[in-house]
Structure 1
Amino acid sequence: MLLVWFLPKQQHRSHWQSIEVLRLPSGPVDIMAHPPLGAGALRDILVHHDSPEQRSLAVSTISHLPRKQSIPLLQLALKDVSDDIRLLAYAALESIENQINEQIACYQQRYEQQPHPDLAHVIAQHYWELCYLGMAEGILRKHYLAQAEQYLRGSFQHTGHADYSLLLGRVLLEQQRPEEAMAYLKDARQQGGQPEQVVPYLAEAAYQVKDYDQAREYIFSLADKSGNRLSQVKEYWL
């Protein structure tokens, strides 16, 4: 007690520490050298920052992120009050879509010259990516899903594979055809598909056909993983 009394711990009078304002990276080299801000921070800049220059830099940074992260943020930027920012976001989205379509055209040309189930699967994956990433809506989305189904069914004439069955099951689910989807999803599971990849879609198909007992069984068969989104769904069904 005497030591504490005569030698008290030094108290800091300053409760705030100033730091340098982070500069948004604007290119791939900058992003590799300096880790970018998280998707949440970039979204906040798009929604709340008053400076059009900062929002424009945020869009440039978002353009170099993985597609799954960048596309929702770019679609949000399409609602910006600034014409320049909307045009920048639209150009970035159009570039992504053009890249995927160019890959589809390239693989289709190869498939026409030498049909192979693996090529058909790759083409179907690219059509699925356009839908999964939210790049297509309405009639165009239906067309892409139909094309994905067509190429997948063509690949089944030559070989069967768990990945093929799983993708076709997901495509059929998106087309609101759960009964057909369930048959292919069960086939994917029988062919050795990972339960974590297949079972959630089996549960979704069972739910869509209103077989809630079967959906509950599928959900409970999944392994418990704390913090996983599926674990939250599992708790809801308890």
Structure 2
Amino acid sequence: MPWPETAQPTPSLAAALCWLLAGLILEGLAVFHLLVTPELWAWRSLPLHLMAAPLLTAGLWQGIPVASRRPAAGLLLFLMMMVIWLPVVAPLGLALSLLPGLRRSGQRGERQWQPLAMPDLPFRAVALPDVEDPAIREGLASVLSSSHDHRRRQQAVLACRHLPRRQAIPILRQGLADSADDVRLLAYSMLSGIERDLDGRVQALVADIERQGDPDGNRAEALAALYSEYGYLQLAQGGTLRYLLEQATLRIDQALAARETAHRWLMLGRLCIALKHYPEAEAAFMECETLGMHDDDLAPYRAELAFTQRRFNDVHRQLARLSSAAASHPTLHPLVSYWQ
């Protein structure tokens, strides 16, 4: 429905014309006397002009819409000075040019309103039955690639909040190539939020090490894990990823220098595989075995190392060292079944 119009008094155009006509008649008489007896202009023309000025001012004031009569005192003074100092020209110019424009600007046309349904805003939570279900992840990717409704694609990107970061990031990267600005901006914002979180945690750990030291190497180990997470989450690629992995290697070396543990040697071995330093990775895994790491924890990474070096017989041998419980794990079971 249209907005209610504010009740305002309508200026009387007829009254304005009467005042203007009376004032112009006096101005005409003043001009006539000025032309006929110019030597008596101060006694004949000037009084008529001064008498016409209030009439013309009143006529102009009546013609201005009420909503435009602000400030009243200043507007009256302006009109009076214009009429006095520019006789005939000013009243006619204002009446023929300014007043019609002001009156048309005060008129409001009829508004046409179309009722719209409440939009499905993107901040509403999306309920997912099971974020570990691969069908859910594939379904979100399918919505992004095939749905023609940008709001559904936006909901699919927003639903990535409920997924583990490693599973959500490929879908968010897919959202960066979407045709809709809202979807691209939302995906970019969520990816930037993940990166800012990692950057903040790295900077906080570096500041703690500089301020308090790291005698037991725990902070260096945590910092190495954060650096390696950039690669795990696929947030960095190419030279940037290699630099971050090298920083992680330096930090885990610091942690090992403070105190050797099987877990730290395992992390070093995984970093060496990522950097393609295969002899160093094998040496790190040997240290893990020396420190008593169980085969269920070590054998999958040794199998990965053997596979990258194309030692396929060793892949089978390493996977055969897994216990029955580890071999039946949902993640490892397909791999073990293939290499049996």
TM-score range, shorter chain: 0.7 to 0.9
Q: Does 1:82 align with 2:184?
A: no
> Which residue in 2 is equivalent to 1:137?
237
What is the CA–CA distance in structure 2 between the aligned matches of 1:137 and 1:215, rounded to whole Å? 27
C-alpha contact (below 8 Å) 1:25/1:34 kept by paired residues = no
> Which residue in 2 is equivalent to 1:115?
214
Q: Name the TM-score, length of structure 1 as normaliser.
A: 0.80
The one-letter amino acid paired with 1:138 is G
C-alpha contact (below 8 Å) 2:306/2:312 kept by paired residues = yes
Tell me the secondary structure at the aligned position of residue 157 of structure 1: helix
| TM-superposition CA deviations, 1:192-221 (whole Å, max 9, x none) | 334333211111212333433333210111
Structure 1 residue corresponding to 2:318, chosen from 215, 218, 222:
218
**Larger relative contact order (CA 8 Å, sep ≥ 6):** 1
C-alpha contact (below 8 Å) 2:144/2:175 kept by paired residues = yes
Deviation for aligned residue 1:36: 6.6
Q: How does 1:136-175 map to 2 (within 5 A)?
A: 136-175=236-275
Deviation for aligned residue 1:175: 0.4
> Which residue in 2 is equivalent to 1:70?
168
> Which residue in 2 is equivalent to 1:232?
334
What is the CA–CA distance in structure 2 between the aligned matches of 1:34 and 1:64, rounded to whole Å? 8
What is the CA–CA distance in structure 1 between the aligned matches of 2:121 and 2:329, rounded to whole Å? 30
Deviation for aligned residue 1:102: 0.6
- Taking only the aligned residue pairs, the percentage that are identical comes to 28
Task: Flag the structure with larger Rg.
Answer: 2
Tell me the secondary structure at the aligned position of residue 142 of structure 1: helix
Q: How does 1:87-98 map to 2 (within 5 A)?
A: 87-98=185-196
What is the CA–CA distance in structure 2 between the aligned matches of 1:63 and 1:228, rounded to whole Å? 24
> Which residue in 2 is equivalent to 1:9?
none
> Which residue in 2 is equivalent to 1:10?
none
Q: How does 1:1-80 map to 2 (within 5 A)?
A: 26=123, 30=125, 35=129, 38-80=136-178
Q: Name the TM-score, length of structure 2 as normaliser.
A: 0.58
> Which residue in 2 is equivalent to 1:202?
302
> Which residue in 1 is equivalent to 2:90?
none
> Which residue in 2 is equivalent to 1:102?
200
CA 1:66–1:233 in 2, change beyond 3 Å: closer, same or farther?
closer
The one-letter amino acid paired with 2:214 is P
What is the CA–CA distance in structure 2 between the aligned matches of 1:93 and 1:148, rounded to whole Å? 22
C-alpha contact (below 8 Å) 1:26/1:61 kept by paired residues = no
Deviation for aligned residue 1:172: 0.5
Deviation for aligned residue 1:64: 4.3
What is the CA–CA distance in structure 2 between the aligned matches of 1:78 and 1:196, rounded to whole Å? 39
> Which residue in 2 is equivalent to 1:16?
none
Deviation for aligned residue 1:177: 1.1
C-alpha contact (below 8 Å) 1:24/1:36 kept by paired residues = no
What is the CA–CA distance in structure 1 between the aligned matches of 2:328 and 2:306, rounded to whole Å? 24
Deviation for aligned residue 1:97: 0.6
- Runs of 4 or more above 4 Å deviation: 23-27, 33-37
C-alpha contact (below 8 Å) 2:299/2:319 kept by paired residues = yes
Unaligned runs of 5+ in 2: 1-119
Deviation for aligned residue 1:34: 6.5
C-alpha contact (below 8 Å) 1:107/1:123 kept by paired residues = yes
What is the CA–CA distance in structure 2 between the aligned matches of 1:59 and 1:36, rounded to whole Å? 16
C-alpha contact (below 8 Å) 1:24/1:58 kept by paired residues = no
> Which residue in 2 is equivalent to 1:190?
290
Tell me the secondary structure at the aligned position of residue 214 of structure 2: coil
Deviation for aligned residue 1:223: 2.7
| TM-superposition CA deviations, 1:50-80 (whole Å, max 9, x none) | 1001111221221343312211211121222
| TM-superposition CA deviations, 1:114-142 (whole Å, max 9, x none) | 12400000000001111111000011101
